[in-house]
């Protein structure tokens, strides 16, 4: 769908924004009331009318958010804009004018939706309601309601502040209430005392967010970690035993510990045990205020409720242990973080987000996540086969360890490292006269091929990273990227805009089912279900995919999290969806059990989580070698087991599309028992196990 008027450029769009005579101006956008009687600059008026017509927006979308850094427009519905002193957001529809992507989010059913303040700023100066709105703002300022604006952007938080000050409204006038007339939603909610501390659990291993921090190298030994709501303190104790610097605070278990500012702050499964939505916002903002570099937020996720006995309470569940649990929808946590902290969170997996203080740190993380590791054993084998040409062996002999280290760093970067990227850079210059001379030495020794492959690999990784940003409709300004990332883009593409253009072309290709079919056509791994149009692989095969397929996965990762946390990844080639499947001990069990299935709809930007761990039957995976690389450890054993299955009449064909015809674990074990077979498919004879015959 062509959403842009002809010849509309970003420069023209920004110039039109400068012409606006009214609107609430924030660093990233301008908000204006939407009214046919209110004149906008011609370019903006044509744009808004075009979008209203194409997307069939009605008059309920009465506020327009115009992005000031990119071609993005959001239509917002505030049904009570003129009647409520602080109307709440009911629905938003964001439109990216470059990609044509449309994202719709509902807020009307949430207990603590975002609200508006200073309504007069949304209106032109001659609007008749300006004096009324401006008078209210002045009264609120004089009452001290804007002294701390960190949490007032949410309905319940604002109402709580009003109650604390004994204030209320009569129309658009601020009034003082008598004590008997004061209402506090939080006090009403807490008529029943909840035992939050009983939700804390003892851990024999690190919690999921701490594991993710370590796996992604986001917690280093020179970092200080603060565990906000540390519970029993097992994560803190474990990290200190490993020589990390960690401390924690908890209102029940460690109330006397000081809250500390730290490089990394963990808000792990705290928001979901707080029954008061307003207090959740306060806890999130307070944790952010103690964060120097990175905040990791984790919550329980809707679709994984597993309480046998629980009652509805507020917007969550009250368990039989008198604890509260809130299960967040996949996009609910993202929306809460965006509105409360005014930053863009990075989903790591469903229910876990990284929130970076510095945009450059965020972009470095996203870039690093798309960067493939180098198989050094394979590289070394190839190099041993290469015949060196004329080589200045005397130079290499003087310090082979230093040169090998520099060569390894060159292959990692795909280019010559700069001084700040290699600790012994000056030693290289002294040995070889210059870094360029060192590169020439390597070319003479190993040829052009290894370095060309490294350059191509890094270029593809950058395209995957950039395409993820284009998919999210949020191209990060060049100035906000780290020096290393800026250098990479300049080296491999010449200019940032050229790199983004190339990434956008690949993104469009990843949305074309014909291109997707071509991308899997010649692959010698993975399982293609022709009936369903599904291509499934093990996570270890992601680096071997073409850029188009990796971009498809990366786009889902921006909504879901790290694909490396799943066992199998299923690409739906024709519907714009992916499914991430998690199994119980995938590598260790012959027939692993499906635990969780996470389906990501890229076209609707929607995530569904399905819990398969509960229920009367359990789904198991047969012939798991279908999805694995040939060199996967233990593959021969898997193939032998599958050969025995086929002799028993169970084949891949009989499983049907999506393995829908596969027997459950319970049915399979019952059949084995009836046929006198063990789980390993050995025959039982007179109470003894007879080993299976060798294939």
521 part of a folded domain = yes
Residues contacting residue 37 through CB under 8 Å, at least 6 positions apart: none
SS3 track for 451-499:
HHHHHHHHHHHHHHHHHHHHHCCCCCCHHHCCHHHHHHHHHHHCCHHHH
Instruction: Give me the pLDDT at residue 440, please.
Output: 84
Evaluate whether 478 touches 498 at the Cβ level (below 8 Å). no
Compute the average pLDDT of residues 144-164. 91
Encoding tokens for residue 319? 């368990």
Query: Are 531 and 427 in the same domain?
Result: no
Among 139, 170, 189, the domain boundary falls at: 189
Q: Read off the pLDDT of residues 281-307 as tens digits, 9 standing for 90 and up.
A: 999 999 999 999 999 999 988 766 665
Query: Are 653 and 604 in the same domain?
Result: yes
Query: Are 30 and 83 in the same domain?
Result: yes
Query: Are 89 and 234 in the same domain?
Result: no
Considering just the CA atoms, what is the radius of gyration of the chain in Å?
29
Residues contacting residue 131 through CB under 8 Å, at least 6 positions apart: none
Among 127, 160, 189, the domain boundary falls at: 189
Q: Read off the pLDDT of residues 588-613 as tens digits, 9 standing for 90 and up.
A: 888 999 988 888 888 777 778 888 87
Encoding tokens for residue 664? 């459950």
What is this structure's pTM? 0.59
Evaluate whether 296 touches 354 at the Cβ level (below 8 Å). yes
Number of domains in the chain: 4
Among 395, 415, 446, the domain boundary falls at: 446
Report CA 667 to chain centroid distance, whole Å.
Answer: 37
Q: Read off the pLDDT of residues 99-153 as tens digits, 9 standing for 90 and up.
A: 565 667 788 888 899 999 999 999 998 899 999 999 999 999 999 999 988 889 9
110 part of a folded domain = yes
Provide the 8-state DSSP code for 619. Answer: B
Encoding tokens for residue 187? 């006090």
Instruction: Give me the pLDDT at residue 695, please.
Output: 44
Query: Are 153 and 206 in the same domain?
Result: no
Query: Are 135 and 233 in the same domain?
Result: no
Strands of the sheet containing 346-349, edge to edge, are 245-249, 224-228, 262-268, 291-298, 352-356, 346-349
Query: Are 245 and 339 in the same domain?
Result: yes
Query: Are 28 and 103 in the same domain?
Result: yes
51 part of a folded domain = yes
683 part of a folded domain = no
- pLDDT band at residue 180, thresholds of 50, 70 and 90? low
Residues contacting residue 95 through CB under 8 Å, at least 6 positions apart: 3, 51, 55, 72, 73, 74, 75, 101, 102
Encoding tokens for residue 638? 């898997």
Query: Are 41 and 159 in the same domain?
Result: yes
346 vs 172, higher pLDDT: 172
Instruction: Give me the pLDDT at residue 446, please.
Output: 79
Residues contacting residue 143 through CB under 8 Å, at least 6 positions apart: 165, 167, 174
Query: Are 175 and 74 in the same domain?
Result: yes
Instruction: Give me the pLDDT at residue 504, please.
Output: 82
Indicate the helix (H) or strand (E) that contains 186.
Answer: helix 185-189
Alpha carbons 257 and 269: distance in angstroms, whole number:
19
584 part of a folded domain = yes
Query: Are 56 and 148 in the same domain?
Result: yes
Alpha carbons 290 and 264: distance in angstroms, whole number:
9
> The domain containing residue 400 runs over which residues?
387-446
CATH number for 307: 3.40.50.150
Average pLDDT, the chain: 83
Compute the average pLDDT of residues 527-536. 88
692 part of a folded domain = no
Query: Are 163 and 286 in the same domain?
Result: no
């Amino acid at each position: 769908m062509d959403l842009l008027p002809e010849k509309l450029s970003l420069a023209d769009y920004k110039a039109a924004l400068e012409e606006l005579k009214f609107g609430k101006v924030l660093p990233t956008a301008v908000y204006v009331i939407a009214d046919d009687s209110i004149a906008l600059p011609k370019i903006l008026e044509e744009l808004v009318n075009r979008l209203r017509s194409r997307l069939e927006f009605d008059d309920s979308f009465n506020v327009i958010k115009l992005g000031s850094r990119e071609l993005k427009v959001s239509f917002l519905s505030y049904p009570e804009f003129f009647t409520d002193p602080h109307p709440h957001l009911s629905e938003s529809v964001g439109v990216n004018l470059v990609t044509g992507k449309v994202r719709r989010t509902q807020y009307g059913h949430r207990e603590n939706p975002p609200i508006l303040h200073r309504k007069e700023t949304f209106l032109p100066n001659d609007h008749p309601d300006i004096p009324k709105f401006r008078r209210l703002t002045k009264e609120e300022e004089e009452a001290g309601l804007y002294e701390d604006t960190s949490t007032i952007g949410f309905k319940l938080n604002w109402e709580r502040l009003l109650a604390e000050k004994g204030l209320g409204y009569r129309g658009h006038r601020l009034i003082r209430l008598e004590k008997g007339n004061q209402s506090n939603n939080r006090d009403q909610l807490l008529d029943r005392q909840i035992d939050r501390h009983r939700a804390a659990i003892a851990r024999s291993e690190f919690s999921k967010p701490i594991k993710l921090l370590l796996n992604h190298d986001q917690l280093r030994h020179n970092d200080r970690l603060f565990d906000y709501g540390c519970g029993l303190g097992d994560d803190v104790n474990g990290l200190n035993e490993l020589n990390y610097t960690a401390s924690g605070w908890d209102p029940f278990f460690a109330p006397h510990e000081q809250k500390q500012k730290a490089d990394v702050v963990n808000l792990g499964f705290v928001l979901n045990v707080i029954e008061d939505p307003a207090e959740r916002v306060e806890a999130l903002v307070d944790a952010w205020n103690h964060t120097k570099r990175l905040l990791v937020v984790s919550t329980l996720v809707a679709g994984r409720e597993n309480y046998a006995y629980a009652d509805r309470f507020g917007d969550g569940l009250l368990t039989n242990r008198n604890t509260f649990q809130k299960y967040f929808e996949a996009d609910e946590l993202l929306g809460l973080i965006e509105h409360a902290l005014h930053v863009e969170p990075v989903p790591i997996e469903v229910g876990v987000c990284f929130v970076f203080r510095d945009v450059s740190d965020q972009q470095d993380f996203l870039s690093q996540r798309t960067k493939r590791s180098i198989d050094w054993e394979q590289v070394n084998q190839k190099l041993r086969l290469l015949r060196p040409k004329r080589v200045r062996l005397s130079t290499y002999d003087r310090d082979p360890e230093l040169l090998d280290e520099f060569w390894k760093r060159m292959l990692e970067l795909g280019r010559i490292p700069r001084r700040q990227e290699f600790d012994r850079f000056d030693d290289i210059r002294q040995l070889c006269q210059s870094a360029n001379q060192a590169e020439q030495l390597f070319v003479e020794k190993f040829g052009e091929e290894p370095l060309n492959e490294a350059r191509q690999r890094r270029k593809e990784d950058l395209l995957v990273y950039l395409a993820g940003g284009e998919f999210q409709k949020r191209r990060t300004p060049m100035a906000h990227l780290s020096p290393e990332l800026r250098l990479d883009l300049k080296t491999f593409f010449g200019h940032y805009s050229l790199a983004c253009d190339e990434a956008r072309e690949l993104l469009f290709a990843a949305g074309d089912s014909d291109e997707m079919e071509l991308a899997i056509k010649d692959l010698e791994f993975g399982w293609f279900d022709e009936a369903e149009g599904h291509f499934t692989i093990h996570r270890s095969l992601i680096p071997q995919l073409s850029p188009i397929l990796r971009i498809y996965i990366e786009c889902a990762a921006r909504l879901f999290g790290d694909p490396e946390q799943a066992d199998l990844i299923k690409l739906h080639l024709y519907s714009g969806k992916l499914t991430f499947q998690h199994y119980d001990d995938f590598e260790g069990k012959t027939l692993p059990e499906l635990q969780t299935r996470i389906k990501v709809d890229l076209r609707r930007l929607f995530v569904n989580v399905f819990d398969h761990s509960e229920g009367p039957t359990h789904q198991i995976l047969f012939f798991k070698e279908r999805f694995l690389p040939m060199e996967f450890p233990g593959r021969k054993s898997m193939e032998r087991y599958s050969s025995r299955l086929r002799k028993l009449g169970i084949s891949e064909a009989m499983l049907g599309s999506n393995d829908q015809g596969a027997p459950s674990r319970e049915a399979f074990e019952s059949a084995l028992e009836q046929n006198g077979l063990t789980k390993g498919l050995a025959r039982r004879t007179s109470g003894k196990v007879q080993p299976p015959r060798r294939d």
